[in-house]
Amino acid sequence: MHKHMSSHPHAQSGPSSTESLWNLALARIEPKMNPANFSRWFLPLRCIDVTNDSIIIESPNTFIKDWFEANFLKDLTLILADIVGHPLKVRIVLAPSKTTSPQHPSHQSTLATTSTSRTRSRSASPPAGRPPLPARYTFDTFVVGPSNQLAQTAAQAVAQEPGSRYNILLIYGGVGLGKTHLLCAIGNKVVSAHPQWKVRYLTADQFSTEFVKSVMKNDDRDSFRNKYRKDCDILLVDDIQFLAGKDRTQDEFFHVFNALYESGKQIVLTSDRFPQEIPGLEDRLRTRFQWGLIADIKPPELETRKTIVQRKAELAQVPISEEVATFIAENITDNVRRLEGALIRLSAYARLQGQSLTLEFTREALDDFLKKAPSTVTIDSILKETASQLDVKVSDIKGKRRHKKVAYARQVSMYLSRKLTDKSYPDIGRAFGGKDHSTVVAAVKKIEKLLTEDSATRTSVDMLVKKLTRQ
Ligand code: ADP
Ligand code: MG
């Protein structure tokens, strides 16, 4: 063991207790880990001080620090406690920077980070302000099930023959359900089939920023117009709900839309909700967004979730058993991004501890992760929390009083009921003491408007959402 330690490239020159404790810990960890990961996450660290109850480790940059803290800190703490015989607080600090800190790789949140290539070698940076089409989002890697079948089929049809059958396609659905994935899959397929085509891919937010810049710099006005109205064969706009409340951008987008539509080009949009439900969107845009095919994506069913976990595990070369895939799929039900998060965590733990992914191990490793899963929110819990936070009675909210404070609490809780549960407007009206659905619609609209203009409402709503979903 000693031989191994002294050959360690980061053997410390500090006081011998500092040096030996850290090296001892490394010596325990290394054999349990995949060598590439060990050198990636542990070797860049230096131990700079050890006291009776703490150890201070220096990281060369925030990326390594954050990743380390999220994935390895717990285990390192256990190993250190085991070595010294009592708990040690581990603090990771940043080394004084010599140069600017290296960038996060853009796909930091995906399983790609488990590959052995060095972070620094993939810094192919996107042109300013514009994401390139992420290459990993293809049809091959998209798992199809009843929840997303329609959207996937439509996306493939569009990718095969852009600008023909469904020259406008709108994909809508909740967070982390694969909208961006499908949008990019269309882009990637078109780029590879027609390399000379102009494929424009951006979020509505980026569209807005670019447009505003072009207005400020008068010369760019024409080049902006050409770029999106003429010099574009397929326009892919992600998250069009962000057009909400941006009047001038909406006006410009309206003209872009018409120009492309009239010249038979392809437009694909995604949104986190149905166009009718996007607040602050001009009617003429709403109508146009509904001219084409509208396909929704729902949260995947158990079988689909299971297949997704298995496919992602294969791609990441983390072999998992059927049992483990089922456990993850049964416990994480809300969105695919969280499924991926669980798998990333699990594989990091397994590598670190040199353990195979048994069901027992999976349960343990995902313990806190699963505790953070948003609980199912009910209208009753919304009423209770809102009443207590806004200092009114639940019975008043359900009743007919129109006192300002009560009416406000009623609107907030109706809004939350619409957003956090899957109840319809009439359902919500009934649960609020038999109110008409139009009252609920008006309340939701009112709060949506306040959320854009009133910071007190934003804070209240944010706090309630946090409490209710325990995130
Ligand atoms: P959205 O844009 O709807 O918020 P994304 O497209 O960003 O969601 O998807 C979140 C993550 O989940 C991505 O890494 C994506 O690859 C993955 N994902 C979502 N749906 C699927 C699916 N059906 N098959 C494989 N991966 C999926
Ligand atoms: Mg998205």
Residue 254 near residue 284, CB atoms below 8 Å:
yes
Residue 173 near residue 209, CB atoms below 8 Å:
no
164-182 per-position pLDDT tens digit? 889 999 999 999 999 999 9
> Across-strand partners of 64?
none
Q: 85: CA distance to ligand 2 center in Å? A: 47
Residue 428 near residue 441, CB atoms below 8 Å:
no
User: How many CA atoms, within 13 angstroms, populate the side-chain half-sphere of residue 172?
Assistant: 16
Q: 340: CA distance to ligand 1 center in Å? A: 9
Domains of the chain: 1-96 (3.30.300.180), 115-297 (3.40.50.300), 379-469 (1.10.1750.10)
Residue ranges around ligand 1 (CB below 6 Å): 110, 137, 141-143, 148, 175-181, 308, 336-337, 340
Residue 468 near residue 416, CB atoms below 8 Å:
yes
Give yes or no for residue 51 having a pLDDT over 50: yes
348-385 per-position pLDDT tens digit? 788 777 888 899 999 988 887 787 655 567 999 999 99
Ligand (nearest to CA of 111)? 1
Burial label for 35, CB within 10 Å (0-12, 13-18, 19+), is exposed
326 token code pair = 């089922």
Average pLDDT (311-319) is 87
Distance of CA 436 to the CA centre of its chain: 36
- Catalogue the E-assigned strands of 280-435: 293-297
**Selected residue with higher pLDDT from 20 and 350:** 350
Count of CB atoms within 10 A of residue 202's CB? 19
**Selected residue with higher pLDDT from 264 and 341:** 264
Please state the atom number of ligand 1 nearest to the C-alpha of residue 174: 3
Q: 86: CA distance to ligand 1 center in Å? A: 43
Residue 387 near residue 464, CB atoms below 8 Å:
no
Count of CB atoms within 10 A of residue 114's CB? 19
Give yes or no for residue 2 having a pLDDT over 60: no
pLDDT at position 97 is: 61
- Which of 337, 338, 339 for a ligand 1 pocket mutation test, highest count of atoms within 8 Å of Cβ? 337
* Threshold 0.75, pTM exceeds: no
How far apart are the C-alpha atoms of 3 and 226, rounded to whole Å? 67
Question: Residue type for 383, please?
Answer: L
Q: By mean pLDDT, which of 121-125, 201-205, 355-359, 384-388 is the weakest?
A: 121-125
Q: 335: CA distance to ligand 1 center in Å? A: 8
